[in-house]
A and B are shown apart, each in its own frame.
Chain A
Amino acid sequence: MQKKRLLLLAILISTLGGCATMGVQPWEKDVLAKPEMALNEQPLTDALDDHIYFSKEASSGGKSYAGGGCGCN
């Protein structure tokens, strides 16, 4: 368990380190600024999906809060 955690931490740190070399200049963001490239492009669809899967599966969250809030059948 301890080893697993250390490995996870190492992966996280190296990922963060790698990020400094990634990315683009502000004027190169035209494609990424398109609405279809936004991560929250469809908030209502995401919320509806989260609610369905929260009601029918034992997992929730990940993308956002695990939440709760209903006595779902």
Chain B
Amino acid sequence: MNKNKIIKTSLASATLALLTQPALSQQDTDSLSSPTNNQTEQTASDYEWKFDAALLFYSESDSRVQAFEPVFMASKQLDEDESISFKLTVDSLTGASPSGAVASNQVQTFTTPSGNADYQVGANVYPLDDSFKDTRVALAANWSFPLAESTQMTVGANASNEYDYFSASVNANISHDFNNNNTTLFAGLSFASDTIDPVGGAPIALSRMQPVGASQAKLDGTQDKDTLDILFGMTQVIDKYSLFQLNYSYSMSDGYHNDPYKVLSVLGADGNYFDDGIATANVLFENRPDKRTKHSLFGRYKRFIDGDVVDVSYRYMTDDWDIDSHTVDLKYRFALNNDSYIQPHVRYYTQTAAEFYQPYLLQAQALPTYASADYRLAEYDAVTVGLEYGWTTQSDQTWRIALEYYAQSPTEPAKFGVLQDQTLLPDWNAVMLRINYSF
């Protein structure tokens, strides 16, 4: 008993120590769990450490991004209503990413972000920058404890680091059960502080890419971004077999929102790159507003049907960059014999373009204040289809294996002149294989 208390105390201090670090960031769904449905009695085994591991292989078409992402989580129930969890995520990326430049009928030369090398993109080839290679390591800790009768508090801290980006965040959530534990209301707050240290420095907004050896128009020092998230939610039991969840979330970020590696092509009247006498392709580094405010409404319904489970959700998001999006997600878990199941998954996503999204700039027009050709700010639809198979072994270990296919179909922007022979926003897809193991 005494030993248990010592362990408990030291773990709590470890958690607090982590919390006092100036850190935080990645989303953490586990900190927002509703206790509404978990009022089962505790047994001795519930107080042991539990481990969850996941491995994700992610591969985009056309040699774009390939990722390998192992995640490991350890959690422990300390008391009936008190628990802690720690999570480690490693994210290893290689491959190429669209630079924002348009394809052209001539070979184009681009300078790498460091300014020390260049690369060529062939005629009629969609420009990808293959100079990035990154490993991200993220740590998260959460501590959940009772605050009062039927009121639970969770505090968490996150830190995520990669060679050009560091993010730290803290969050606190409070949830209250009432109406015979059939209703849970929760509110949460998260604050994240990001530091961006781009390779070669952050480009001066809308400055022209320069050849290797020439002075690159880059800023000294690091860039910062702060993000505040507020979340209000409610979970309601409908009947013996079903429940729903409603969330409203508000997110406000302030600081450096540019992608320092994305550019826009400057085109002449013929639809080709405007020749200004410099051998390097005529592209300018993007510029986004330094503030963004997002609102989301999220609804979810889950129902048990003769051993099967249907899980459907919808999200509407709108922001002050003029992006509106709708996301529908449907999972149906078919129960099979011997504690196994198979779960098809379909997700549909659609978004409008940011008001400052521009596939290219025109030499003949004045420079806009904000402009980005990042394909993620364009108008597009995306579909995910997947299948998961899971089973529980006799010793109560759970395995899940899932294969998912994601396809993004952008709306092709307006074109003119020789640009009409090019695809500005090609469709692309990704295949994901995920393995989960809980023990």
Listed in ascending order, the chain A residues whose CB lies under 8 Å from chain B are 15-16, 19-20, 22-26, 28-29, 31-34, 36-40, 42-48, 50-54, 56-71, 73
Contact = CB atoms under 8 A, between A and B. Distances in A.
B34 to A, nearest CB: 6
A22 B182 contact: yes
Given A57-B376, A61-B27, A70-B26, 9 more contacts: A19-B182, A23-B237, A37-B243, A40-B34, A45-B400, A50-B27, A52-B406, A59-B294, A73-B65
Contact of B227 (A25, A44, A63, A67): A67
A59 B323 contact: yes
Contacts of B196: 71
B235 A65 contact: no
Interface string B285-328: 00000000010111010101000010001010101010101010
B171 to A, nearest CB: 7
Interface of B: 25-34, 36-40, 52-54, 56, 58, 65, 69, 71, 73, 87, 89, 91, 93, 97, 132, 134, 136, 138, 158, 160, 162, 164-165, 167, 169, 171, 179-183, 188, 190, 192, 194, 196, 198, 225, 227, 229, 231, 234-241, 243, 245-247, 249, 251, 253, 259, 261, 294, 296-298, 300, 302, 304, 309, 313, 315, 317, 319, 321, 323, 325, 327, 333, 341, 349, 351, 354, 376-377, 382, 400, 402, 406, 408, 430, 432, 434, 436
Contact of B239 (A24, A42, A51, A53): A24
A19 B190 CA distance: 28
Nearest to B308: A36
A62 B377 contact: no
Contacts of B227: 66-68
A19 B251 CA distance: 27
Given A22-B182, A32-B37, A36-B309, A64 B28 contact: yes
A71 B222 CA distance: 13
Contacts of A24: 180, 182, 237, 239-240
B251 to A, nearest CB: 4
A64 B33 CA distance: 10
Nearest to A18: B236
A38 B32 CA distance: 12
B32 A58 contact: no
29 contacts: A24-B240, A28-B240, A29-B37, A31-B240, A31-B241, A38-B38, A39-B243, A43-B73, A44-B54, A44-B436, A45-B436, A48-B54, A48-B71, A48-B434, A56-B376, A58-B351, A59-B317, A59-B349, A59-B351, A61-B229, A61-B296, A62-B249, A63-B29, A63-B315, A65-B28, A67-B229, A68-B25, A68-B194, A71-B162
